[in-house]
Amino acid sequence: MDRRRINGPAGATQPPVFDDVVSQGAKTVSGRSRMPDASRKMYLKTGVTPSASGSAYLEMETSAKPGASGLKLSCSVHGPRALPRSAPFSPHIVLSTHIKYAPFATKQRRGYLRDPSERDLGIHLEAALRGAIIADRWPKSGVDIIISIVEGDQDRETSKSQGEEAWDMMNALAGCITVAAAALADAGIDCVDTVAGGVAALVQDGGADSTPTIVVDPIPSDHAKILAACCIAYLPTRDEVTNLWFRGDLPASDMDLYTHLVEKGILASRNANCVLTNCLMETIE
Amino acid sequence: MSSTNHVLLSPAELAYLHASLSLTPPIRPDGRAPTQFRPLVAETGILPGTNGSARICFADGTEAIVGVKAEVERTVVGPEGEGVIVEGGEGEVEEGGGEGEAGWVEMTVEIPGVRDDDSGTAFLAAMLSEGLLADEGFVRRLWINRRFHWKLYLDIILISPPLSYPLPLLSLTTHLALLSTRLPRLKSEGDEDPFFDDDWAAAPYLFPRPNGKSTTFVSQTRPPITLLVMAVGNNIIFDPSKEELAVADVALAVSVTAGSSSSQAPSKHVPMDTSTEGRNLRLLSIRTIDPPSRLTPPGVANAANSAYGANAGQKTTHEAQATAEGEAVEGVWRAPRGGAKRMVLGALVQKVLERGGVVDEVLDALEGVDLG
């Protein structure tokens, strides 16, 4: 509970559903317009916040409405700077990550304070970045990585979300990892490699009996059912995974399916890494 | 509570520990086999005011209590849902035909000495509830009728100081508490306001169990368990203690459950008793745990240490840095850098899901607990 501000009523209200679309009835699943291995278009720019030592902005295309943009992330990196005198000695850089959805970013309003899911995302991001940063070059110092999700990627035309929050979180995390890596590079903090995030999902498009397929960079509203998904933070030149987050329901007898899913997740993060590298090259020139 | 709590071990101790864990077979500080769990004491039904409860005490002194409370809650129906009710009319409500929502389960974790808004605690709670919610059949059990559902509160309390990363302990305790959870028997029918039998002895279990006498096939779904598994060199080590986790190259939390999938009906009607070969495991979630080894202090090789005759004074800083960043010297601890090879990750998951492996062993042990 936020005591410093005037809070809205505690009781939940239904978010408004606008009825101006042709689809008056239940919205059918539109289906995926991209190839299974193609990621969405992404816009990445570094150095957007002059007061921070490093910053980046990422925008991702949504397929709910062609041409419109979905996920918008802004990341700023403060540091490396000296730890306060009261802090205990640390032989490494102390990394603190902070991910916050803007209150208006999703259909359901988010509060000003971070809720558990945002804290959870922060820990995931920390695990992904800590593997990439060469932490022992900055003893006794700290760096803050602050990401605000200005707009979440949600299809506003569907009135009710069908348990998609979990999969949305994975997409958001992948974006957060990529944008944080760009901001870290902009701040000039030494990393072993540029880390980028990618998502792959096992989806079932045609009914319960159809064979599931694996797609890269899924949008939950495009698919009838998502069976499993994984988000991967990957270092391409070292061929190493710094963070793996899998969620879903897979039979244990089918290890191949899991392995393929991880391979596709790596492919997705390679795609994101291309954008990241190009963006950083442009900054140098 | 983060996994990155500082471990008070010197670089020399870390190097020794890492070397002994990389041997084949690994030598663990407490003499366990690589796949062996710490011995534990478990009991259920300890809290009379709850729907289900459990307590587990690990041999290293960490102890957790879980209480499960259920409340009847009105289901919030969206604009589309109401239309369905009008069309549907009465009397054709199929058993458990409703859809569950993730919001019907609320999980809180409390760890002494840690602020309740700590990110690590939120991470633990998210990890435990993720496994539970990944099984679609679970929330469907909480459905009463179209207007009401059970809301399940799982309160997990670690009552000892966190001596090791408490994830396996909390997960096993939650598993037992859910197994012992009973919900009052429903007496009302259809979409009426729910009305329950006040005879507690008649209350069915949330996870119906196969009773020995009757031969009816009961679905063997079980609550998930989350295992902590780590890799050091080429070795895979289960249930690491705090000191072992301090030298891990990579650590994973893997949630698995036993039982037939909700979507695929069991094709062959094999009577599945507790024998290990019959268990049909499903992978529910995997998370990378940030290993605390990345935050350990590095050791200094003798060649770079001026106390051991390294040339002090001129050109030192540059050279010292070069040696610190260069090749690893045997016996000198260096915090791992970078991530994990995908082969290692694959091997970890494979080892967890192995038939007749650790998961089966743990589930067998937990089935032996008297659920009262």
Q: Where are the domains of chain A?
A: 42-284
Give Cβ neighbours of residue A20 (< 8 Å, ≥ 6 apart): none
Taking domain A42-284, whether its CATH number is 3.30.230.70 is answered by: yes
Q: Is the pLDDT of residue B360 over 90?
A: no
With CA atoms as reference, report the closest residue to A44 among A63, A58, A61: A58
Q: Is the pLDDT of residue A105 over 90?
A: no
With beta carbons less than 8 A apart as the criterion, state whether B251 and B289 touch: yes
Helical H segments across A85-244, by residue range: 116-130, 165-187
pLDDT at B151: 92
**Which secondary structure element, helix H or strand E, spans residue A274, and what is its range?**
helix A255-284
What tens digit of pLDDT does each residue of A36-69 get?
Answer: 888 888 899 999 999 999 999 999 887 656 656 6
Q: Is the pLDDT of residue B345 over 60?
A: yes
Q: How far is CA A273 from CA A39, A61, B46, B58, in A?
A: 11, 16, 53, 44
With CA atoms as reference, report the closest residue to A91 among B297, B12, B247: B297
Tokens in use for A281? Answer: 């090259």
Q: Is the pLDDT of residue B70 over 90?
A: yes
With beta carbons less than 8 A apart as the criterion, state whether B341 and A239 touch: yes
B284 CA: distance to closest CA in chain A (Å): 5
Q: What is the dihedral of CA B357, B358, B363, B369, to 10 degrees?
A: 130
- Flag if A244 and B286 touch (Cβ within 8 Å): yes
Q: How far is CA A242 from CA A92, A128, A135, A181, B344, in A?
A: 18, 5, 14, 13, 12
> What percentage of chain A carries pLDDT values higher than 90?
47
Mean pLDDT of B46-65: 91
- Flag if B342 and A230 touch (Cβ within 8 Å): no
A70-84, A155-169, A202-216, A271-285: least confidently modelled range: A155-169
Give Cβ neighbours of residue B6 (< 8 Å, ≥ 6 apart): A88, B292, B295
Nearest-5° Cα angle at B108, B349 to B148: 100
Q: How far is CA B366 from CA A39, A151, B191, in A?
A: 44, 45, 37
pLDDT at B270: 40
- Flag if A245 and B288 touch (Cβ within 8 Å): yes
Secondary structure (3-state) at A121: helix
| Number of C-beta neighbours around residue A10 at 10 A | 6
Confidence (pTM): 0.86
Chain B CB contacts of A132 under 8 Å are 338-339
Chain A CB contacts of B256 under 8 Å are 252
Cβ-count burial of B199 within 10 angstroms (0-12 exposed, 13-18 middle, 19+ buried)?
exposed
Q: Is the pLDDT of residue B85 over 50?
A: no
Report the number of secondary-structure helices (H) and strands (E) in chain A.
Answer: 3, 9
With beta carbons less than 8 A apart as the criterion, state whether B155 and B108 touch: yes
With CA atoms as reference, report the closest residue to A187 among A150, A142, A225, A220: A142
A62-66, A246-250, B144-148, B187-191: least confidently modelled range: A62-66
pLDDT band at A242 (very low <50, low <70, confident <90, very high): very high
With CA atoms as reference, report the closest residue to B215 among B261, B256, B272: B272
What value does the mean pLDDT of chain A take? 85
pLDDT at B232: 92
Domains defined along chain B, listed by start: 11-79+93-194+218-298+333-367 (3.30.230.70)
pLDDT at A20: 57
- Flag if A233 and B339 touch (Cβ within 8 Å): yes
Q: Is the pLDDT of residue A27 over 70?
A: no
> Using CB atoms, which residue from B252, B338, B345 is nearest to A235?
B338
Distance between CA atoms of B132 and B128, rounded to whole angstroms?
Answer: 7
**Which secondary structure element, helix H or strand E, spans residue A147, and what is its range?**
strand A141-151
Mean pLDDT of B31-54: 90
Q: Is the pLDDT of residue B5 over 70?
A: no
Torsion angles phi and psi, residue A265, rounded to 5: -60, -40
pLDDT at A187: 93
- Flag if A117 and B126 touch (Cβ within 8 Å): yes
Higher pLDDT, A251 or B276: A251
pLDDT band at B4 (very low <50, low <70, confident <90, very high): very low
Among B108, B138, B226, B287, the residue to mutate for chain A (most A Cβ within 10 A): B287
pLDDT band at B236 (very low <50, low <70, confident <90, very high): very high
- Flag if B337 and A131 touch (Cβ within 8 Å): yes
What tens digit of pLDDT does each residue of B125-158 get?
Answer: 999 988 888 877 788 888 888 888 899 999 999 9
pLDDT at A270: 93
> Using CB atoms, which residue from B80, B288, B338 is nearest to A238?
B338
pLDDT band at B57 (very low <50, low <70, confident <90, very high): very high
> Using CB atoms, which residue from A90, A131, A163 is nearest to B338?
A131
Q: How far apart are the first and last CA of chain A?
A: 48
User: Interface pTM (ipTM) of the complex?
Assistant: 0.85
- Flag if A91 and B340 touch (Cβ within 8 Å): no
Peptide bond into A80 cis (omega under 30): yes
pLDDT at B18: 92
Q: Is B224 on the interface with A (CB under 8 A)?
A: no
Chain B CB contacts of A235 under 8 Å are 338-339
Q: Is the pLDDT of residue B317 over 70?
A: no
pLDDT at A195: 94
Q: Is B256 on the interface with A (CB under 8 A)?
A: yes
Helical H segments across chain B, by residue range: 11-22, 79-88, 119-134, 136-140, 167-179, 242-245, 316-325, 342-353, 358-367
What value does the mean pLDDT of chain B take? 79
> What percentage of chain A carries pLDDT values higher than 70?
86
pLDDT at A40: 86
Distance between CA atoms of A152 and A154, rounded to whole angstroms?
Answer: 6
With beta carbons less than 8 A apart as the criterion, state whether B279 and B258 touch: yes
A105 CA: distance to closest CA in chain B (Å): 20
Mean pLDDT of B62-75: 92
Q: Give the chain A residue whose CA is nearest to the CA of B119.
A: A119
Distance between CA atoms of B174 and B225, rounded to whole angstroms?
Answer: 8
Give the count of Cβ contacts less than 8 A between chain A and B: 151
pLDDT at B76: 76
pLDDT band at B278 (very low <50, low <70, confident <90, very high): low
